[in-house]
Copies of this chain bind each other. A is one copy, B any other.
Amino acid sequence: MSDWVQTGIGKAEADAIIIRGRDLSSELMGKVTFTELAFLLVQGRDPSPGETALLDAVLVSLADHGLTPTALAARLTLTGAPESLQGAVAAGLLGAGTVFLGVVEDTAAFLEPVVAAAGPDPDDERLAAATRAAVEARRAEGGRIPGLGHPVHKQVDPRTPRMYEIAEEHGVLGPHLRALRMVADVHQELTGRALPINGAGVGGAALADLGFSSRIVRGFALLARSAGLVAHLAEEMERPLGMPLFLEVDRRVELD
């Protein structure tokens, strides 16, 4: 059992809590923001100020979109189990799957091999070539190009240009974000249809540029959603929506 019980994340010791080799009380509290700590926890190194700004923008962009199905599920769960706030938050996160947050992961996963294929520090030409090859290959096998299109924002998802602006402003516009723009261009060229890059897609590309593996980027969407869910549950405690929603459904339900 000895050799595999190993972790780089941290440990609570008799006189201190250690996180990524730092003393929590003296080296982290009051010195790093929660966003910086989240970066440090997952990557094992401090983010640069620009990386922090980009990660903050991603988390802010994904935190809450109002009374979504997941917010409703969390509120209905509190209706039956008000004693378990953790249960209601967990129920809300459980709906954060492929339909709503999958695009974050899918986009990062699509771009990861593109950027790898373009080689280190790729110029626009190499990156564009790798992007075009990937889009064509995906289309050839009949697959979807992730990160494009939105049921509501037909022209432009307002989060997308803002994310690029923030990345440029802080000098952290990386190859995944750059490639995603090329994806949209190539897609339009090949199909004749201009589809906007959506907010989930741009979030996935930004997280990939921040160095997170595509397998874990959805974790940041879950972290972001936790904040929204806490807000919904705080409101639910003051002004319940779960019980009236149930009663309305119950009033209207028809048995086959």
Contacts and interface: CB of A to CB of B under 8 A. Distances in A.
Interface in A163-216: 163, 165-166, 169, 212-213, 215-216
A73 B246 CA distance: 10
A12 B71 CA distance: 13
Nearest to A65: B12
A57 B81 contact: no
User: How many subunits of this chain does the assembly comprise?
Assistant: 4
Contacts of A226: 222-223, 226
Interface residues of A, number: 123
Interface of A: 1-2, 4-19, 21, 23-26, 28-30, 32-35, 37-38, 41-42, 53, 55-57, 59-61, 63-70, 72-74, 76-91, 93-101, 152-153, 158-159, 161-163, 165-166, 169, 212-213, 215-216, 218-220, 222-224, 226-235, 237, 239, 241-246, 248-250, 252-256
